[in-house]
């Protein structure tokens, strides 16, 4: 019985990281497709502008003390990015703003992770 448990633990130690890797790759592909769709809908220049603004908005949300949950930070970031898009006369939907914010969060997280190799 103890050997069976050891085998199952060893198998889980191999399978779980592999599944996480597959999930991460799928998420990256999904976000890349989402980014490409947004870019094609609003144009390259507008996308580039909003992408840069989104990264700044995310950094601001991280520094804002009263935003103590990820949901509050995301709502703050989406609202601020929407206001900035309106200020710059960039037509963008709520779904597109959400995608830009998610992409900015992932980009900043990747930047924080130590590079492998």
From first to last of its 117 residues, the chain has per-residue pLDDT tens of: 888 888 888 888 888 888 888 887 887 787 778 777 887 888 889 888 998 999 999 988 888 868 788 888 899 999 999 999 999 999 999 999 999 998 888 888 877 655 444
Distance of alpha carbon 14 from alpha carbon 20, whole angstroms: 11
Rg (CA), the chain: 19
68 located within any domain? yes
Range(s) of the domain holding residue 22: 2-112
Q: Note whether residue 48 is domain-resident.
A: yes
**pLDDT recorded at residue 114:** 54
- Total number of domains in the chain: 1
106 and 31 in contact (C-beta within 8 Å)? yes
* Among 82, 40, 75, CA closest to 61: 75
**pLDDT value at position 26?**
83
Does 117 map to a domain? Answer: no
Structure tokens at 2: 């103890």
What is the predicted pLDDT for the residue at 117?
Answer: 43
């Amino acid at each position: 019985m103890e050997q069976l448990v050891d085998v199952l633990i060893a198998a889980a130690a191999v399978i779980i990281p592999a599944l996480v890797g597959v999930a991460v790759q799928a998420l990256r592909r999904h976000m890349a497709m989402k980014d490409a769709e947004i870019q094609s809908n609003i144009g390259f220049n507008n996308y580039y502008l909003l992408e840069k603004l989104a990264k700044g908005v995310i950094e601001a949300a991280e520094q804002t003390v009263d935003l103590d949950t990820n949901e509050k930070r995301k709502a703050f970031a989406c609202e601020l990015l929407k206001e900035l898009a309106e200020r710059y006369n960039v037509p963008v939907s709520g779904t597109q703003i959400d995608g830009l914010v998610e992409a900015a969060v992932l980009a900043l997280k990747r930047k924080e992770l130590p590079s492998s190799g």
